[in-house]
Amino acid sequence: MLIIPAIDLKDGECVRLLQGRMEDSTVFSDNPVAMAADWVNAGARRLHLVDLNGAFAGEPVNGGIVKAIAEAYPDLPIQIGGGIRSFETIQAYLDAGVQYVIIGTKAVKEPEFVFEACKRFPGHIIVGLDAKDGKVAIDGWAEVTDVDVVDLAKQFKEAGVSAIVYTDISRDGMMQGVNVEATARLAQECGIEVIASGGVTNIDDVRALANVADSGICGAITGRAIYEGTLDLAEAQQLSDELTS
């Protein structure tokens, strides 16, 4: 199970939002490429990038920074989310050296877009599902729908997505601990590998997820915890390797 550092991009800087609110951001670095270097040096085997401006604009805004990070680490798998609403955007990111493209809101509003994306770009498509109390949230968490997250995830298994990034939005950035039960249940029921996101706060959260990784959890994204020092990336990856190898 990979421990995946998150680099959230806003106005060219590396930030973290509190529960998805753009006005509630903490700047951790004004040099995201250097930040990526820090995580690679600490043993990261994959990076999770989010174009926050892009998520709200509906098209890439920080694409140049994403490309710079991909060029700096050509052998490192990078996954990017935020504002991916067209095949042209997917193609541009793959051309820039990104390995996986995460489709979020568009996947919920137009599931057929995911099916077509998987046909055009097999092995490169991840779906990002954000949920609160088991219901899917969209548009940067501005709206919680009546759609059940497990039911929607099952549709994407048929499409052939590589993984699902699952965020429990009641926990994200709140340092409250990860929702292990909901994450494991989603992985078991949908039959797609799940990357946990939201609430990975300390080594106990890593241990709890690793202990149920055989349900289909292949990774855990962590952001605020590794920036604020409540989780050590190298230690977390070592523990995960020991428990899931």
List, in sequence order, every residue forming a beta bridge with 5; answer none if it has no partner. Answer: 222
Distance CA 10, CA 50 (A): 9
The 10s digit of each residue's pLDDT in 91-147 is 999 999 999 999 998 999 999 999 999 999 999 999 999 998 899 988 766 788 899
Q: Which of 8, 168, 172, 205 is catalytic?
A: 8
Q: Which pLDDT value is given to residue 141?
A: 66
Residue 130 annotated as catalytic:
yes
Q: How many residues does the chain have?
A: 245
Q: Which pLDDT value is given to residue 140?
A: 66
Residue 20 CA to chain centroid, in angstroms? 13
Q: Which pLDDT value is given to residue 165?
A: 98
Q: Which pLDDT value is given to residue 23?
A: 85
When divided into structural domains, the chain yields a total of 1
Q: Which has the higher per-residue pLDDT, 172 or 210? A: 210
Q: Up-side HSE of residue 235: CA atoms within 13 Å toward CB?
A: 11
Q: Is 70 exceeded by the pLDDT of residue 8? A: yes
H or E segment and range at residue 103: strand 100-103
**Mean pLDDT over each residue of the chain, to the nearest integer:** 93
Supply φ then ψ for residue 153, to 5 degrees.
-60, -35
The CATH number linked to 122 is 3.20.20.70
Distance CA 104, CA 28 (A): 24
Distance CA 61, CA 139 (A): 16
Distance CA 227, CA 239 (A): 19
pTM for this model (two decimals):
0.94
Q: Which of 11, 24, 51, 130 is catalytic?
A: 130
Cβ(99)–Cβ(77) below 8 Å: yes
Question: Comparing C-alpha atoms, which of 120, 126, 175, 117 is closest to residue 153?
Answer: 126
Handedness of CA 220, 224, 227, 231 (dihedral sign): negative
Average pLDDT over residues 10-15: 96
The 10s digit of each residue's pLDDT in 145-194 is 899 999 999 999 999 999 999 998 876 656 677 889 999 999 999 999 99
Cβ neighbours around 94 below 10 Å, total: 16
Residue 168 annotated as catalytic:
no
One-letter amino acid at 40 equals V
Average pLDDT over residues 83-98: 97
Q: Domain containing 211: what range?
A: 2-244
